[in-house]
Chain A
């Protein structure tokens, strides 16, 4: 049976993971390769590396890290951040990424999804969307959630799936950082609209939030989080054990 995926997201800047604490057996918490290996050994089903650097020099450091990670960690690796063109897809795929996540780049040029899907296949193209309710309507936000594009989120996602997006990461700005659980209403609206895998992001504060997510919305394929894993508030081994105990299909 296909299992629900648990995905830690690592923000990488200047070659270091931006946030995190010390885990037992992990000396350098800010080492992307070290943390990736640690999560892989804990049972993470996939990893997301998010490049939050700006300069081209930093970008080179990021791709070096990506290559080193892919040489040492043997689970699927998704890369996001600074993806605007098919050349950007090419750059990170060559370094060992399996999937590429595009967000603002697709808003600027929706054509990048179709071009990338044609070249690398739908399964390689992940659409990440930052969504916030504005007057009761789900709106797509750009630039790291700072700018309202005015676009309605579900129709935006549908058009991207039609163009070849093979997976959707739904980041709810409304629940992000609140740690009171995932945005079930928003996720349900997306799940009902598309038939590609949906990854929930934003709002996880404790193990129960993941259990609620997968029980309430069986169509959600994966849960993504960053700080709750990095700060040790949720341990992936414990989370997956609890999921299994609650009858949620999971890889242990």
Chain B
């Protein structure tokens, strides 16, 4: 069973439905024991880093996710959920993340030309940089749906895929059993479903 951590940010209806569409059972839960009992974990997230980090902390679910991932349970962070895996973010201040991955969350305006629109929104192609179990059913150049104004600046060895938007923005990260997608696989059509399926079946 895969558990989606419900710590009170955003609507998890589409994400839950996307797992149903690929025939994998999920539970959306705010219960620590249910997260501990699950085979794999999903950390979703939309909105501001500060609010989400605070909710992860106050709900106690952040600590559970960190413990379980540290113990080796496969974990996939999605969008803001991916950003929360890192050490800290500079979104409207400086806030601590779960620290499961080395690196920090920075505004994309730091690295992209000024004439490009922010947020980076829409379908962009993935440039696969290294092998990842998540890529088992997709190809280099496949398109996925992004909506974000901040990006993960991290060790190049963690970056499994990037998307070109005036700079090479981190799109997929992976370190051992911890994975993250900056884009929304649940909104990325067949390609997105195939990435979720790979997380279910290949990690």
A33 at the interface (CB under 8 A from B): no
Chain A residues positioned under 8 Å from B11 (CB to CB): 93-94, 96
- Report yes or no: B188 in contact with A74, Cβ–Cβ below 8 A: yes
Which of B29-37, B60-68, B115-123, B152-160 lies at the interface with chain A?
A: B115-123
Chain A residues whose C-beta falls within 8 Å of the C-beta of B119 in the assembled complex? 122-123, 166
Interface residues on B, range: 20 to 34
Q: A130 near B: Cβ within 8 Å?
A: no
**Known interface pairs A93-B11, A96-B11; A72-B121 also in contact (CB < 8 Å):** no
Q: Once the chains bind, are A71 and B143 in contact (CB under 8 Å)?
A: no
Q: Among the listed B13, B122, B188, B193, which residue makes an inter-chain contact with A3, where contact means beta carbons less than 8 Å apart?
A: B122
CB of A74 within 8 A of CB of B13, answer no
Query: B59 interface residue, CB < 8 Å from A?
Result: no
Q: Could you tell me if B143 and A75 are in contact, using CB atoms closer than 8 angstroms?
A: no
Q: Given A75-B145, A123-B147, A196-B117 in contact, is the A5-B122 Cβ separation under 8 Å?
A: yes
From B17, B121, B124, B190, contact of A123 by CB (8 A):
B121
Quick check: A197 and B121 within 8 Å, CB to CB?
yes
Q: Roughly how many angstroms separate A94 CA and B124 CA in the complex, as a whole number?
A: 26
What is the CA–CA distance of A238 and B18 in the complex, to the nearest angstrom?
27
Write out the residue numbers on chain A whose beta carbons fall within 8 Å of the beta carbon of B18: 74
Query: Is the Cβ of B120 less than 8 Å from the Cβ of A2?
Result: yes
Q: Take A121-B46, A123-B121, A166-B119 as given contacts and tell me if A2 and B165 are in contact as well, using a CB distance cutoff of 8 Å.
A: yes
Within 8 A of B (CB), among A91-120: 93-96, 98, 120
B106 at the interface (CB under 8 A from A): no
CB under 8 Å from chain A, chain B span 129-170 = 143, 145, 147, 164-165
Question: With a CB–CB cut-off of 8 A, which chain A residues contact B17?
Answer: 70-72, 74, 96
Cα distance, A235 to B189, chains bound together (Å): 19
Nearest CB on B from A177, distance (A): 27
Chain B hits for A1, CB < 8 A:
124-125, 164-165
Q: Judge whether B104 is part of the interface by a CB distance below 8 angstroms.
A: no
State A167–B119 Cα separation when bound (angstroms): 10
Q: Is the CB of A74 within 8 A of B122?
A: no
Interface core residue of B123, B164, B165 (most chain A CB under 10 Å): B123
| A74 pairs with B14, CB closer than 8 A | yes
Q: In the bound complex, what is the Cα–Cα distance between A132 and B81 (angstroms)?
A: 43
The verdict on A197 contacting B122 (CB below 8 Å), with A40-B189, A95-B13 known, is yes
A137 to B46, CA, bound (A): 40
A67 near B122: Cβ-Cβ < 8 Å: no
Which residues from chain B contact A121 at a C-beta distance below 8 Å?
46-48
Partner of B187, one of A75, A93, A94: A75
Residues in chain A within 8 A of chain B (CB atoms): 1-3, 5, 40, 45, 67, 70-72, 74-76, 93-96, 98, 120-123, 166-167, 195-197, 221-222, 251
Nearest 10 A-B pairs (CB), nearest first?
A: A251-B143, A71-B17, A251-B123, A96-B13, A3-B123, A2-B124, A123-B147, A2-B122, A76-B187, A96-B14
What are 20 of the A-B contact pairs (CB < 8 Å)?
A1-B165, A2-B122, A2-B123, A3-B123, A3-B125, A3-B143, A5-B123, A67-B13, A71-B13, A72-B21, A74-B186, A74-B188, A75-B188, A76-B145, A94-B11, A121-B47, A122-B119, A123-B119, A123-B121, A195-B117
Q: A3-B123, A67-B13 are in contact. List 4 more A-B contacts (CB 8 A).
A: A1-B165, A2-B123, A122-B119, A123-B119
